[in-house]
Amino acid sequence: MPQYHIWTIGCQMNKAESERLGSYLEQLGYQATATAEEADLIVVNSCVVRQSAENRVVNKLNALSPLKKLRPNLTLAVTGCLVNSEVAQLKGRFPHVDYFFKPGDCPPWLEKAQWGQVLPRRPAPSTYVSIIQGCDNFCSYCIVPYRRGRNRSRRVKEIICEVKELVNRGTREVALLGQNVDSYGHDLPDQPDLADLLGELNGIDGLLRIRFLTNHPKDMSPKLIEAVACLDKVCEQLSLPVQSGSNEILEAMRRGYTVEQYRQLITEIRSKIPEVALSTDVIVGFPSETEQHFQQTIDLLSGLRFDTIHVAAYSPRPGTIAARKFDDNISPAEKMRRLDQIERLQEGIAAEINAQLQDKVVEVLAEGKKKGKWQGRTRSGKLVFFSNSNNCLGKLMNIRIEKTSPWSLQGRVES
């Protein structure tokens, strides 16, 4: 039986696409292997959103070169955001790679007709479903629109069919994915929006929960907030990347909103969905970010108190507007200092927010086992560990929280 190995780095979109490719390969008779050395087919699913990710991809591809020399029959393919329109250039740089194909595309050696219908045979209780590819926003620092292209939404009918089939096969929760899910449907003939899609999915029997990410603050509509507030299966969890607490920096980033508009949006969300858990993304060390700009970000984060923050140090991506227009003039050490400061701030905030769940009973979807304990998430997306000798996989469990930390919760099954 031929063996395949997929190496994945980057966002949930990449993870979802790798899962899909793995399922398809298994339907064709391949078997997964954890070691590249044993594989007949290796796929590298790449990310170049940050320089550190791109470096890891390049190192991985270079490390695979001797293996390809040793076993010329090995097939080596690359997908993900490294693959741009300059495939000839990539071939010159990595001559040992057999195929390059764009993220989300059917691999060139597989049957295109079947690709659209590929689903995992035994999907996880919580499964990613991609609903829109690409992005039309062109934030000045971001490479995504250049690599993944413009918005391309999948049709509502197609997504409903896919989710129904996933539920038949064992999925209980879906996380709808897109670089900007708030743009969903604008490019389709009858222009449904994300709220319409959520309404349709909410009616699927056997589906227990729906999440979606990532949102864009300038595109999040009152209708969508209303849908989250009203639809019983849509979880009270929203990701809303702010990126900076300074209007000057937001403008240079071309984010399309001000700090005041962002604060107003959060106020509106919290008033309509009181239980909501909010996460955000922040970039530190954007060109010309002064200490004062950075302090504005700290003030915003301290005031809004998010459940989770993903913080990254700016790194210029060749081809983006920011890389062309601005000097990367904040030193790496200063970027790290700012990043650490936000992480320490957030650790304290998350500890306090999670401590409020001490002794409370929360509903957890059991997603799997780790080190002998069941793990799963609350509706608000908090990671919970608990012990139980029964098979809890895919079940909703009532868990009384006994211990909390900034990152996860521990509890016992409430009888």
Instruction: Find the helix or strand (DSSP H, E) in which 93 lies.
Output: helix 87-93
Q: Kindly state the smallest distance separating residue 135's Cβ from ligand SF4, in Å.
A: 3
Q: What angle do CA 279, 283, 288 make, to 5 degrees?
A: 150
Strand partners, 6: 43
Q: Kindly state the smallest distance separating residue 142's Cβ from ligand SF4, in Å.
A: 3
Q: Does 297 bind ligand SF4 (CB under 6 A)?
A: no
Measured from the CB atom, the residue of 148 and 293 that comes closer to ligand SF4 is 148
Sign of the alpha-carbon torsion through 103, 108, 113, 114: negative
Q: Look at strands 409-413 and 383-387 and give their pairing.
A: parallel
- Assigned token pair, 256: 């399309």
Measured from the CB atom, the residue of 94 and 306 that comes closer to ligand SF4 is 306
Strand order in the sheet with 209-213: 126-130, 173-177, 209-213
Give SS3 for 213: strand
Measured from the CB atom, the residue of 62 and 221 that comes closer to ligand SF4 is 221
Identify the DSSP state of 65.
Answer: H
CA 374 – CA 392 distance, rounded (Å): 8
Residue choice 79, 126, 133, 179 for contact with ligand SF4 (CB under 6 A): 179
Q: Kindly state the smallest distance separating residue 256's Cβ from ligand SF4, in Å.
A: 9
Q: Does 216 bind ligand SF4 (CB under 6 A)?
A: yes
- Assigned token pair, 375: 């793990």
Q: Does 338 bind ligand SF4 (CB under 6 A)?
A: no
Q: Residues touching ligand SF4: how many (CB under 6 A)?
A: 10
Q: Does 145 bind ligand SF4 (CB under 6 A)?
A: yes
Residue choice 25, 78, 135, 210 for contact with ligand SF4 (CB under 6 A): 135
For 203-236, the DSSP string reads T-TT--EEEEE---TTT--HHHHHHHHH-TTB-S
CA 247 – CA 249 distance, rounded (Å): 5
- Tell me the window of 2-10, 138-146, 305-313, 325-333 that interacts with ligand SF4 (CB under 6 A): 138-146
Q: Kindly state the smallest distance separating residue 321's Cβ from ligand SF4, in Å.
A: 10
- Tell me the window of 80-88, 131-139, 268-276, 300-308 that interacts with ligand SF4 (CB under 6 A): 131-139
CA 171 – CA 148 distance, rounded (Å): 27
Q: Does 354 bind ligand SF4 (CB under 6 A)?
A: no
- Tell me the window of 141-149, 307-315, 325-333, 344-352 that interacts with ligand SF4 (CB under 6 A): 141-149
Burial class (CB in 10 A: 0-12, 13-18, 19+), 192: middle
Measured from the CB atom, the residue of 5 and 50 that comes closer to ligand SF4 is 50
Q: Does 103 bind ligand SF4 (CB under 6 A)?
A: no
Q: Does 142 bind ligand SF4 (CB under 6 A)?
A: yes
- Assigned token pair, 22: 């793995």
Q: Does 138 bind ligand SF4 (CB under 6 A)?
A: yes
Q: Kindly state the smallest distance separating residue 53's Cβ from ligand SF4, in Å.
A: 14
CA 296 – CA 353 distance, rounded (Å): 22
Task: Read off the amino acid at residue 356.
Answer: Q
Q: Kindly state the smallest distance separating residue 306's Cβ from ligand SF4, in Å.
A: 18
Sign of the alpha-carbon torsion through 103, 253, 221, 136: negative
Q: Kindly state the smallest distance separating residue 386's Cβ from ligand SF4, in Å.
A: 35
Q: In Å, what is the CA distance from 329 to each residue of 50, 147, 246, 271, 322?
A: 17, 26, 17, 40, 12
Q: Does 45 bind ligand SF4 (CB under 6 A)?
A: no
Residue choice 39, 144, 362, 399 for contact with ligand SF4 (CB under 6 A): 144
CA 383 – CA 413 distance, rounded (Å): 15
Q: Does 137 bind ligand SF4 (CB under 6 A)?
A: yes
* Strand spans (E) along 34-182: 41-46, 75-80, 99-100, 126-130, 132-133, 152-153, 173-177
Q: Does 315 bind ligand SF4 (CB under 6 A)?
A: no
Residue choice 6, 139, 220, 362 for contact with ligand SF4 (CB under 6 A): 139
**Which residues make up the interface to ligand SF4 (CB under 6 A)?**
135, 137-139, 142, 144-145, 179-180, 216
